Amino acid sequence: MIVAIDSNILIYAHRNDLPFHEKAFHVLKHFNYNKDCPVIPWPCIYEFLTVATNYKIFKNPTTIENAIAQIDHWMSMPQIKLIAEEGETCWLQLKTLFQSSKVTGGVIHDAKIANICSIHRVQVLWTVDRDFSRFPQLKILNPLI
């Protein structure tokens, strides 16, 4: 089974000052790599960088050097693959998804992630973001509860 990991799980696992850090860290550390194939959509990497290094969110944000080192670590793990939009039909798929789910504003970012997951045949997205429920083709699981 292909499981995508959303940025919020990555942020919780990275930031030890967050309430769900221990659980998220444990979940990623003990991912069942024999049974599941973990992937991270590229937009989730960008969002991780945006949030983790943001002084408006954290009193002591992650330095860009530490955030980059964290991403390098995830990318060095042979069992984790990063996925992105591909091909000329991507816009047509994304446009259809926008129209069918009637998303606007910030949820457009989530639609882009859902579309990438669809392109790569992801069966489950690990997230704490309920907005993904707008995309019924993607099963959502919060591994922190």
CATH number at residue 108: 3.40.50.1010
Residue 16, pLDDT above cutoff 70:
yes
pLDDT tier for residue 28 given thresholds of 50, 70 and 90: confident
The percentage of residues in the chain with a pLDDT greater than 90, rounded to a whole number, is: 69
Domain range enclosing 38: 2-141
pLDDT of 74-109, one tens digit each? 999 888 899 998 777 888 888 888 888 888 998 999
Distance CA 128, CA 114 (A): 14
**How many residues are given for the chain?**
145
Q: Report pLDDT for 49.
A: 97
Q: What confidence score (pLDDT) does residue 42 get?
A: 96
**Phi, psi (rounded to 5 degrees) for 136:** -65, -15
Domains in the chain, number: 1
What's the pTM value of the predicted model, to 2 decimals? 0.91
